[in-house]
Structure 1
Amino acid sequence: MTSLHTGSTKIIKSSSNKIITIDRLFDLLLETLGEQFWWPARSKWELLIGAVLVQNTNWTNVSLSLENLAHRTDFSPKAIRELTNQELQTLIRPSGFFNNKSRALEGILSWTETFNDDFSRLKAVPTDKIRKSLLQIKGVGPETADVIVVYLLDRPVFIADAYARRLFTLLGKETKSYEELQGIVHLSPSFNGTKANELHALIDVYGKQYLRKNTKEIGFLAGYKLDQLLD
């Protein structure tokens, strides 16, 4: 089984490519692109809601929906729960797919209600258990669940989104799905939630700048390949 590691792996020399670990990939991205300061939010509730609304749209559209919700509810979970589904759909309409997203938000807020809307109660809960409970909510997929786990709960999880899959393919590691890529990426102990957050942000920013569809150009990472070892 092929696996990618980020620890003190011996670097394999290549005459044609520079072989790097994920730790080194992170350093290269950070050195060139700088810190990204994601996720833009005024509160954990805004972050949580934004993680649902950003599915299949851009942040400009999400911002419009968030401003609507801020004005109407101040992101109070109780106030949002008191909205009718039609009222919620109207407020989040700029984000698109407002029918599905309204149901997902209602599911998320039902989930947070199980721990009295107190995120500190999740500190002792294992990441896998939290992720599993999120994936049981209709409209919450693996990427959204992992964004919540990383950005809201500060857990070191690799977010294997479309930009990550595209970048890793160009760096010599092609995978067919979110789950496949996430399953072979092992973040080293140096990755805490903050660093996992930054890695995701850097990959997405890099992707938007360089990884346009149907292009072989990969910017300043040209000539690099990810370290691949057999378990």
Structure 2
Amino acid sequence: MHLTLYDLYQKMLNTMGPTHWWPAETKEQIIIEAILIQNTTEKNALSASQVLQEKNHYDFKKIAELPQDELEEWIRPAGFMKNKSKVIQTIAQWYLEHQKKPDKIIRRYGKNLRQELLSLHGVGQETADVLLVYIFDQPQFISDKYARTLFTQLGIEDLTDYKSLAQRLSVLPDPFTFQDAQEFHGLIDEFGKKYLRPPQKFESSFLAGDQLVL
């Protein structure tokens, strides 16, 4: 069956049910976990996140003022502690400078917000898109590895890296809302854990035989 992007989203949502992703109590928690998840497993990222929650409840002011070596120890379970601690403190300081007000940040940067995020130390394309979706409520598409693998299985070719898909699909088209963007990312990742490890398991999924039309 040929599916539009929105058809695909609706089929996944109706079959799998909502994921309510990103599960977090605050925007600060999401920002930190978006950094911790880089180049590690979800389990390791959540383990490091829990340490931060227990130590200071994701208080950005305290995190920004914390000695870097101490923060490195807190987030050790997520790996790459030196770089991730610097990224966390950079974004924490930037968010504080903007009074932790996403609406104000959107008004200030407008369409240049993604570029502003990419200018921050350690923020790559995937992290920037995650922040756009979950912090700034934008209908952005997150072209992560699971998305690229899924779309490849659905007949989209030449998805070699993040940029290869992001160039073709950045902002989700109407009628997608930012809530849909949040849910779509969660669905794709949950689908990936079940049916794309290894990719051959896709043939046993409810999407086997479908073709995506971008």
Question: Would you call these one fold, judging by a TM-score over 0.5?
Answer: yes
Q: Does 1:187 pair with 2:169?
A: no
- TM-score (norm. length: structure 1): 0.86
- Structure 1: which 5+ runs fail to align? 1-17
Q: Which has the larger radius of gyration?
A: 1
Identify if the C-alpha distance between structure 1 residues 22 and 100 changes in structure 2 by more than 3 Å, giving closer, same or farther. same
SS at match of 1:176: coil
Identify if the C-alpha distance between structure 1 residues 86 and 115 changes in structure 2 by more than 3 Å, giving closer, same or farther. same
Q: Retained in 1: the 8 A contact 2:139–2:177?
A: yes
- Going by fraction, where is strand more abundant, 1 or 2? 1
- Structure 2: which 5+ runs fail to align? none
Moved more, 70-79 or 36-45: 70-79
Q: Distance in 1 between matches of 2:130 and 2:35?
A: 9
Identify if the C-alpha distance between structure 1 residues 126 and 157 changes in structure 2 by more than 3 Å, giving closer, same or farther. farther
Question: What residue is the counterpart of 1:212 in the other structure?
Answer: 197
Alignment of structure 1 residues 145-156 onto 2, 5 Å: 145-156=128-139
Question: What residue is the counterpart of 1:55 in the other structure?
Answer: 38
- Going by fraction, where is helix more abundant, 1 or 2? 2
Q: How many residues align?
A: 211
Counterpart amino acid of residue 82 in structure 1: E
Question: What residue is the counterpart of 1:88 in the other structure?
Answer: 71
> Which fold has the larger relative contact order, with Cα–Cα distance below 8 Å and residues 6 or more apart in sequence?
1
Residue 70 of structure 1, CA deviation: 1.7
**RMSD (Å) for aligned C-alpha atoms:** 1.6
Alignment of structure 1 residues 1-231 onto 2, 5 Å: 18-125=1-108, 128-174=111-157, 175-185=159-169, 187-213=172-198, 215=200, 217-218=202-203, 219-228=205-214
Q: Distance in 1 between matches of 2:49 and 2:199?
A: 33
Residue 119 of structure 1, CA deviation: 2.5
Question: What residue is the counterpart of 1:9 in the other structure?
Answer: none
Identify if the C-alpha distance between structure 1 residues 223 and 197 changes in structure 2 by more than 3 Å, giving closer, same or farther. same
Residue 107 of structure 1, CA deviation: 1.5
Q: Distance in 1 between matches of 2:116 and 2:201?
A: 38
Residue 187 of structure 1, CA deviation: 2.2
- The CA deviation string for residues 30-83 of structure 1, in whole angstroms up to 9 with x for no partner, is 111110011111111111111111112222222222222122222111111121
- The CA deviation string for residues 156-179 of structure 1, in whole angstroms up to 9 with x for no partner, is 001000001001111110222212
